[in-house]
Amino acid sequence: MTDDKYKIQKIDDYRWRIPREGKMHVEGIVYADEHMLKEIQKDESLQQVINVACLPGIIRHSLAMPDIHWGYGFPIGGVAAFDVDEGVVSPGGVGYDINCGVRLLRTGLHRIEIINKLESLVNTLFANIPSGVGSHRRDLKLSQQEEKNVLRDGARWAVSQGYGTKEDLEYIEEKGCIRGADPELVSDRALERGRTQLGTLGSGNHFVEVGYVSEIYDEEIARVLGLERDGITIVVHTGSRGLGYQVCDDFLKVMINASRKYNIELSDRQLCCAPVNSQEGKEYLAAMACAANYAFANRQVITHWVRESFGGALHISPKESQISLVYDVGHNIAKFEEHIVGGEKRRLCVHRKGATRAFPPHHPNIPDVYKSVGQPVLIPGDMGRCSYVLVGTEKAYTDTFGSTCHGAGRVMSRGQATRSTKGRNIAEELKAKGILVRADSRATLVEEVSEAYKDVTEVVGVVEHAGISKKIVQLKPMCVIKG
Bridge partners, 173 (sequence order): none
For the beta carbon of residue 280, count every other beta carbon within 10 angstroms: 19
Q: Please, how many CA atoms are within 13 Å of residue 47, restricted to the half-sphere of its CB? A: 13
Q: Where are the alpha helices (DSSP H) in 34-176?
A: 34-40, 45-53, 111-114, 118-128, 144-153, 155-160, 166-169
Would you say 466 is a known binding-site residue?
no
Q: Strand, coil or helix: what is 236?
A: strand
Q: Is 310 annotated as a binding-site member?
A: no
Please give the Cα distance from 469 to 359 (Å, whole number). 9
Q: Binding residue per annotation — 381?
A: yes
Rounded Cα–Cα distance for residues 284 and 278 (Å): 10
Residue 406 annotated in active site: yes
Query: Is residue 482 part of an annotated ligand binding site?
Result: yes
Q: Is 409 annotated as a binding residue?
A: yes
Helix axes 144-153, 279-314, angle to 10 degrees: 100
Residue spans of beta strands (DSSP E) within 84-221: 88-89, 101-110, 207-216
- Ligand-binding annotation for 406, yes or no, is yes
465 has binding-site annotation: no
Q: What are phi and psi of 58, to 5 degrees?
A: -70, 140
Is 407 annotated as ligand-binding?
yes
Query: Binding site annotation covers 383?
Result: yes
Question: Is 208 annotated as a binding-site member?
Answer: yes
331 is in an annotated binding site: yes
* Ligand-binding site membership of 387 (annotated): yes
97 is in an annotated binding site: yes
Which one from 25, 304, 406, 465 is the annotated catalytic residue? 406
Asked whether residue 136 is marked as a ligand-binding residue, the answer is no
Residue 332 labelled as part of a binding site: yes
- Distance (Å, whole) CA 271 – CA 249: 13
Query: From the annotation, which residues make up the binding site for GMP?
Result: 205-209, 331-332, 380-383, 387, 406-409, 482
Binding residues for Mn(2+): 97, 206, 237, 331
Output the known binding site: 97, 205-209, 237, 331-332, 380-383, 387, 406-409, 482
* Residues recognised as catalytic: 406
